[in-house]
Amino acid sequence: ETVEREGLWTIQTPQAFRLSLLREAHARAEAEGVQGTDDAVLVERLGHPVRLVTGLATNLKITRPEELELARALLRRAGRRGP
C-alpha cells in the first residue's frame, strides 16, 4: 500500500538529545525488549516531545563509499578540499 506523502518529513542525522534522557530511553527500551528505528522513537516512547529543525539537502550521511565520493565531489565543486 502506498503511503500518502502529505505530512511526511525527511529526517537527517545527527539527532541531538540530553545524554541523561538518551540513556534513560535506551535503558527502558532494552528492559522492555523494544527496538526503535532511531533515538527519536525511543525518546518519544518516554513521552518527551521531539522537535524538528530545518536542515539542508547537502547535510549528507556518509556510510557507503559512493556517499563519500559524492561528498568529495561537492567539496571540490565548492572549492574546498576534503579528506
Do 38 and 1 sit in the same domain of this protein?
A: yes
Q: How many domains does the chain have?
A: 2
CA Rg, the chain, in Å? 17
Cα(first)–Cα(last) distance of the chain, in Å?
Answer: 42
Do 32 and 68 sit in the same domain of this protein?
A: no
Q: How many CB atoms lie within 10 A of CB 60?
A: 14
What are the tens digits of pLDDT across the range 8-58? 888 887 789 999 999 999 999 999 999 999 999 999 999 999 998 888 887
Confidence of residue 83 (pLDDT cuts 50, 70, 90): low
Q: How many CB atoms lie within 10 A of CB 65?
A: 8
Number of residues that this document lists for the chain: 83
**At residue 18, what is the residue type?**
R
Confidence of residue 81 (pLDDT cuts 50, 70, 90): low
Domain, as residue range, for 37? 1-52
Do 62 and 44 sit in the same domain of this protein?
A: no
What pLDDT is stored for residue 55 in this prediction?
Answer: 86
**At residue 65, what is the residue type?**
P
Among the residue ranges 5-9, 63-67, 68-72, the one predicted with the least confidence is 5-9
What pLDDT is stored for residue 45 in this prediction?
Answer: 96
Do 64 and 33 sit in the same domain of this protein?
A: no
